[in-house]
């Protein structure tokens, strides 16, 4: 019997190390391999590689309200109406799940009815929650169920309070559920404002005119959901395993069953999402017009094409900015926001893309979001809530320009008011009287009772706690910047670092004094969508008034303004509301978000409508060009291969010699 040929242990280790050197030189792409290389017709499989800056908090459409979660929800769930991707001046909504945009009918009793019709043939994604695992058709009853969920006290939807002021029966449903123990009886408690007329038709009935309701139909909170999915994914154990073994099902918030262009195939918490195109998707097609002239060559061939344009989405969570820049430079990200240090490498002093990256075919654009960012102040805090002069002093001590220069390359405008540019009522001439002014800050601090930032009774510096997100070095650096700003006037700032999810919890609970990382990306382009954040009926959990701002005149003006068209009278009311808001300082204004976006040559942008939350289904990708560019931008060094092969050959020779001696 011939003895088995086995290398001595040191030789095996040496050969494995050499092989690792060889193979590491052959590629450095950190992205998981696509699910397929080709489609069924033999054409290349198209994968889009994107970035998330944080883990999502929830993918329940009736609950999630942060931008990261919305970015993931957008490909999975369509909405009843959708922002037209090419129309941003002004923004327009058009049909998505609904067959047409409904028109208001004013009834004799002052109520308003919108007749809505769902497109037939739209189906949920295949999922075990359905009989046989086959997704069923989306029907009008699913819209009613979504509105019922908004009224369920156990869900604590942040959308309830605003919609309940207008949609008939929502407040009644919530109150009845609270009296019955805090949970809605879905079988018996109907929402009168959603009247199901047939499988694909329903009436939406409002107690009074509310023109903005059309925008709410373009939000995920009103999108249809399947009751089967909500009840199936309940977070408790079921005999789903082999031989009936008990296994815990995820909660619905972490196992979405949507009807959008993509279905989630993999979710590694804190790391990545992978999604696959929905083969039965029929809801939208690529627009046939509306694009700017410079996008004609790109968009014209796509007109009328079925969506989505790619087969797979991969979203990787990168809390640090530097890895995003490095991966984009290597061609492993298809699009990214150039922030902080990356701006210096990519953008010249004249604010153009560096010639080096222009030569690669990359394109630079400025993306202005419909958003205002600020530092929230808790007005229920015993110190800050009772001392307006102190809040004004803190506002005057803070210079947002340094923050903008540090993070956004100086391109984001400093916010002078709550409304962002492009919103009716925004005043480009308005200047915040409590903007950065150190001399004024020190005077206001003295008037607040803390001369030099010290408590006159103890002689010690006044201490204020600043909460923020600190998931990476960049976020910590920005927190330190904020700390230094406030400490310029002598107060002491205690910094508390949080995860993104923990900070959201603190905001909802009112467990903070001041906090960074807050702001508002508009759900829809209307002043009501900004001011409702500070309406006193919208304290969490019913709403998102995390500052707990309450002002009687502001509330009265809001209630009047909210239901008006954009007349001169309405704009005068908006101006007065802004004056109240600025004087009371429920937030310390920072900037209107804007930044540089880098497009790779194989993934050009077809639209710039930020209200679509990404609009992933409209994004084209050329995988052949990407593979070619990746090879060009990442040349394989030959020396590791030569060294590795040399070690392998030497090791093989040595191993042969050793084995011969052993087998003699």
Q: Can you give the pLDDT at residue 127? A: 97
CA distance 573 to 554: 10
Contact 524, 530 (CB under 8 A): no
What residues does 338 pair with on adjacent strands?
A: 596
Per-residue pLDDT of 95-142, as tens digits, reads 999 999 999 999 999 999 999 999 999 999 999 999 999 999 999 999
Per-residue pLDDT of 311-338, as tens digits, reads 999 999 988 777 888 898 999 999 888 7
Per-residue pLDDT of 344-374, as tens digits, reads 788 887 788 889 999 999 998 888 888 999 9
Predicted TM-score (pTM) of this structure: 0.79
Whether residue 13 has pLDDT greater than 60: no
Instruction: Write out the two tokens for 263.
Output: 């279905």
Strand bridging mode 91-95 / 81-88: antiparallel
Burial class (CB in 10 A: 0-12, 13-18, 19+), 211: middle
Per-residue pLDDT of 629-654, as tens digits, reads 999 999 876 555 555 566 555 655 55
143-147, 373-377, 445-449, 471-475: least confidently modelled range: 471-475
Sign of the alpha-carbon torsion through 246, 248, 252, 254: negative
Cα–Cα–Cα angle for 437, 474, 493, rounded to 5 degrees: 45
CA distance 392 to 450: 13
Give CB contacts under 8 A, 24+ apart, made by 194-199: 194/143, 194/144, 194/147, 194/167, 196/140, 196/141, 196/143, 196/144, 197/140, 198/140, 199/120, 199/137, 199/139, 199/140
The residue length of the chain stands at: 664
Sign of the alpha-carbon torsion through 472, 477, 480, 481: negative
List of residues 6+ apart from 409 with CB closer than 8 A: 338, 339, 343, 344, 347, 351, 595, 596
What residues does 277 pair with on adjacent strands?
A: 262
CA distance 33 to 22: 20
Distances (CA, A) of 216 to 222, 260, 300, 577, 662: 7, 18, 31, 23, 80
CA distance 198 to 175: 28
| Plot region of 171 (φ>0 → left; ψ -120 to 50 → alpha; else → beta) | alpha
pLDDT level of residue 496 (50, 70, 90 thresholds): very high
């Amino acid at each position: 019997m011939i003895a088995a040929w086995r290398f001595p242990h040191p030789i095996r280790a040496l050969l494995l190390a050499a092989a690792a050197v060889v193979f590491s030189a052959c590629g450095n792409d950190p992205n998981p391999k696509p699910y397929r290389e080709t489609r069924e017709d033999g054409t290349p499989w198209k994968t889009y590689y994107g970035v998330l800056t944080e883990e999502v908090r929830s993918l329940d459409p009736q609950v999630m309200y942060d931008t990261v979660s919305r970015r993931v929800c957008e490909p999975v769930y369509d909405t009843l109406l959708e922002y037209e991707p090419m129309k941003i001046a002004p923004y327009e909504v058009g049909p998505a799940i609904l067959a047409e945009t409904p028109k208001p009918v004013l009834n004799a009793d002052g109520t308003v009815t919108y007749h809505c019709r769902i497109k037939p043939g739209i189906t949920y994604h295949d999922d075990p929650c359905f009989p046989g695992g086959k997704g069923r058709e989306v029907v009008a009853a699913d819209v009613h169920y979504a509105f019922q969920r908004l009224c369920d006290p156990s869900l604590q939807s942040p959308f309830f309070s605003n919609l309940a002021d207008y949609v008939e029966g929502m407040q009644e449903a919530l109150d009845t559920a609270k009296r019955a123990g805090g949970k809605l009886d879905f079988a018996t408690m109907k929402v009168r404002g959603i009247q199901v007329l047939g499988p694909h038709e329903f009436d939406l009935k409002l107690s009074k005119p509310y023109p903005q309701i059309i925008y709410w139909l373009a939000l995920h909170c009103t999108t249809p959901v399947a009751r089967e999915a909500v009840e199936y994914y309940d977070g408790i154990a079921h005999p789903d395993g082999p031989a009936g073994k008990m296994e815990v099902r995820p909660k619905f918030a972490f196992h979405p069953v949507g009807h959008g262009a993509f279905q989630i195939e993999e979710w590694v918490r804190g790391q990545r999402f992978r999604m696959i195109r929905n083969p039965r998707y029929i809801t939208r097609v690529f627009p046939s017009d509306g694009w700017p002239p410079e996008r004609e060559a790109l968009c014209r061939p796509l007109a009328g094409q079925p969506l989505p344009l790619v087969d797979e989405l991969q979203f990787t969570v990168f809390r640090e900015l530097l890895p995003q820049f490095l991966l984009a430079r290597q061609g492993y990200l298809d699009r990214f926001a150039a922030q902080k240090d990356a701006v210096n490498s990519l953008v010249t002093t004249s604010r153009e893309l560096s010639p080096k990256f222009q030569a690669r075919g990359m394109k630079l654009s400025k993306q202005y979001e419909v958003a205002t960012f600020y530092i929230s102040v808790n007005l229920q805090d015993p110190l800050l809530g009772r001392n307006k002069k102190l809040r004004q002093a803190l506002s005057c001590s803070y210079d947002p320009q340094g923050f903008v220069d540090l993070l956004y390359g100086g391109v984001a405008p400093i916010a002078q008011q709550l409304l962002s540019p492009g919103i009716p009522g925004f005043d480009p001439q308005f200047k915040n009287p409590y903007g950065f002014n150190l001399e004024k800050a020190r005077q206001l601090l003295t008037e607040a009772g803390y001369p030099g930032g010290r408590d006159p009774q103890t002689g010690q510096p006044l201490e204020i706690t600043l909460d923020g997100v600190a998931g990476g070095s960049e976020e910590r650096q920005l927190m330190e910047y904020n700390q230094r700003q406030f400490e310029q006037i002598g107060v002491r700032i205690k910094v508390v670092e949080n995860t993104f999810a923990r900070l959201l919890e603190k905001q909802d609970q009112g467990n903070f004094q001041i906090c960074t990382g807050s702001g508002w990306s508009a759900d829809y382009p209307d002043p009501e969508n900004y001011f409702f954040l500070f309406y006193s009926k919208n304290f969490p959990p019913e709403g998102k008034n995390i500052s707990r701002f309450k002002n009687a005149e502001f509330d009265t003006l809001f209630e009047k303004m909210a239901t008006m068209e954009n007349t001169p009278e309405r704009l005068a009311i908006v101006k007065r509301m802004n004056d109240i808001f600025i004087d009371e300082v429920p937030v310390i204004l920072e900037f209107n978000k804007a930044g540089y976006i880098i497009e790779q040559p194989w993934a050009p942008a077809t639209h710039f409508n930020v209200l679509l939350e990404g609009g992933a289904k409209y994004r084209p990708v050329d995988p052949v060009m990407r593979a070619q560019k990746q090879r060009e931008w990442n040349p394989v060094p030959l020396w590791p291969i030569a060294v590795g092969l040399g070690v392998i050959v030497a090791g093989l020779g040595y191993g042969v010699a050793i084995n011969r001696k052993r087998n003699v």
